A = this chain, B = another copy of it.
Amino acid sequence: MGATVVDLSGAFRLRDAALYPKFYGFEHARPDLLEKAVYGLTEFAREELRGAKLIANPGCYPTSILVPIIPLLNAGLIADNQPIICDSKSGVTGAGKTPTATTHFVEVSESFKTYTLFRHRHAPEIAQGLGLPNESRAVIFTPHLLPINRGILSTIYVKLKDGVMRGDILKVWQETFADAPFVRVFAESQMPEIKFAANTPFCDIGCAIDEATGQTIIVSAEDNLLKGAASQALQNANIALGFDEGAGIR
């Protein structure tokens, strides 16, 4: 009754019940709850999280993409004549604990591959998070499997509107995340790397721009088990229950 639920399963992430059969393989049993669930991308949901009873914790890949891109869309910096292309790479803990052919050491070690092209369940979650229609391919998402234990790095390609400069992106990020304890803006030439983010609760974000053309590469990194799962769940539970956002995390 009084319990606060932070759901890490994915079952309440998509607001459109019709997407569950295709992407999750089941008919949603409680579509009435989808509207009520708060999508817990903490940095953008603090108001709704206060006192929330049902929180859908975001997917690991979507977190790495939505954190850097939402502020740029909100600020109107991104041109809309080119899809947002998200090329994401994850360590093997993202593939689950069950031993399968896919997670056998010999399959993974010394290799690298794409998987579920155009079909991953995080694709509609990313489109929803960006406020873009899933079917139009305004956003393209490709997951890859890295031969490491933990960590996600997303390389995201966007086109900026004419005249937008690197400093504009950094300024938007710095303002958006001024009070966000778990997002780190890389403002110099150093880009985020998995080794900086692994085993930490941070989402690291950086960018490189070809200012002549507005073509932009956004790089983000996080630990898929922490900011991509458990520590973000803690951020959400803390806010829902009125605790300090970082309690138990730092």
Contacts and interface: CB of A to CB of B under 8 A. Distances in A.
B155 A210 contact: no
A112 B148 contact: yes
Contact of A103 (B93, B104, B149, B150): B104
Given A82-B82, A212-B135, A215-B83, A194 B104 contact: no
B215 A111 contact: no
Contacts of A136: 213
A30 interface: no
What copy number does this chain have within its complex?
Answer: 4
A66 to B, nearest CB: 19
Contact of A146 (B87, B100, B147): B147
B87 A155 contact: yes
B142 A155 contact: yes
Interface stretch (A38-46, A113-121, A176-184): A113-121
Contact of A105 (B82, B109, B208): B109
Of A108, A135, A136, the most chain B CB neighbours within 10 A belong to A108
A157 B194 contact: no
Contacts of A210: 118, 137, 140
A99 to B, nearest CB: 4
24 contacts: A89-B89, A92-B109, A99-B103, A104-B104, A104-B105, A110-B194, A110-B195, A110-B198, A111-B148, A111-B151, A112-B193, A113-B193, A113-B195, A114-B153, A114-B155, A114-B191, A117-B191, A117-B208, A135-B212, A137-B215, A140-B157, A140-B210, A140-B217, A144-B155
